[in-house]
Each structure stands twice: as C-alpha cells, then as structure tokens.
Amino acid sequence: MNNIKNLKKAILDLHGCKSEWVESLPIKEVFQGQTAWEGVVEIFELIDHPTTKKCYAWSHAVDGSSKRKYIAVLHDGPVDSPEKAVRAAIVSEYRKP
C-alpha cells in the first residue's frame, strides 16, 4: 500500500519539488503474457518543477527486508501516463548491473 506522505517526500528528495496528490490508479503491466508488475500508482501535481507539472509515484517492498523502495517518475517526454511510468521503471531496473 502506498503512503502518500512518504511518496511526497520521495518526490521532494528525487526531483527537488513539493507535490500535491491528485488520484490513485490501479495498473497491471503484462509482458509476454505474464504480469510484470501490478499495483496502484499515485498521481501527483508538482509545485514549481522547471519542466513538468505531473509525477507518478508508488512503492514496493524490498525483497528480504521490511523496508520499502519508493519510485517517482516524471511525466516527461515518452512518459505520458501511469502505465508508461511503470514500464520506464521496469526497464530502468532491468538495465541496472
């Protein structure tokens, strides 16, 4: 479950601006017939960001830990929807060494 307060902090830490929550959307990303990710993406309006007005954010449990990882993807360029934000995050994780 997403904690709006923690996601707002993640947006501030990652992108340097404050935000206001707008809505929650359930997303299911399927790749080659299998669920790659399923959860709720929170949509935020950004305050005084220099290039965009929107951000998509969510969190998930870290394997083998009680900690959570926070993801905040800007609505920018090809990322123009919550679904594309999830895809971009999946690709980014896959490309990490």
- What is the per-residue pLDDT across 70-92, written as a single tens digit (0 to 9) for each? 999 999 999 999 999 999 999 88
User: Which pLDDT band, with edges at 50, 70 and 90, does 93 fall under?
Assistant: confident
73: helix, strand or coil:
strand
Work out how many domains the chain is built from and give that number. 1
The shares of helix, strand and coil residues in the chain, as percent rounded to the nearest 5, are: 25, 45, 25
- What's phi and psi for 94, nearest 5 deg? -65, -35
Range of the domain at 80: 4-95
- Report the chain's mean pLDDT, rounded to a whole number: 93
User: Is the pTM for the entire model greater than 0.85?
Assistant: yes
- Identify the pLDDT of residue 72: 97
Dig out the tokens for 54 from the structure.
């929107």
Instruction: Count Cβ neighbours within 10 Å for each residue of 67-89 and write b for 16 or more, e otherwise.
Output: eeebbbbbbeeebebbebbbbbb
